[in-house]
Amino acid sequence: MRTLVLLIVAAEPLVPQRAWLERLALLVPSEAANRWLLLADLVCLVALGLSTRQPWLGVPLAVGVGFFALNALGVALTEFYLALAVFHLAVAIMTLAVLRGARWLGAATLGLAIVLGVLT
């Protein structure tokens, strides 16, 4: 019994500190799905940029802010694929909230991110 307790105490530091991330694996899409979702995110960001008064400035600014947000999420969550999943959802929700004429684009991206997260 004493040996078992010693083994359990010795193995505790070997358990990842962020084991809760494994429970979120259902939300994270596969690598191939992430590539397609990044293209959908780019389309949403370009659409957001085109909806500004000066599209020639809005498009690069929207894509740049999106790239910065993805990097900030990666640093904050320290799990890149989880950060990608959150980024996909955030871009889709932002597109749904901001664009009036192309809300279908945000809805399609949101549905795609959820479906691919669950299926892959």
Q: Which residues contact 17 (CB under 8 A, 6 or more apart)?
A: none
pLDDT at residue 56 in the model: 95
Round to the nearest angstrom and report the end-to-end CA distance of the chain: 43
Closest CA to 20 of 72, 77, 60: 77
Which residues lie closer than 8 Å to 69 by C-beta, 6 or more apart? 87, 90
Domains in the chain: boundaries: 23-119
For the ranges 4-8, 36-40, 81-85, 98-102, which has the lowest average pLDDT? 4-8
Least confident of 6-15, 27-36, 64-73: 6-15
pLDDT of 30 above 60: yes
Arithmetic mean of pLDDT over the chain: 84
- What is the pLDDT confidence band of residue 5, given thresholds at 50, 70 and 90? low
Give the per-residue SS3 of 2-63.
HHHHHHHHHHHHHCCCCHHHHHHHHCCCCHHHHHHHHHHHHHHHHHHHHCCCCHHHHHHHHH
What is the C-alpha separation between 75 and 10, in angstroms, rounded?
30
More confident residue, 68 or 17: 68
Query: Measured between alpha carbons, how far is 69 from 90 in angstroms, rounded to an integer?
Result: 10
What is the sign, positive or negative, of the torsion defined by CA atoms of 48, 28, 111, 97? negative
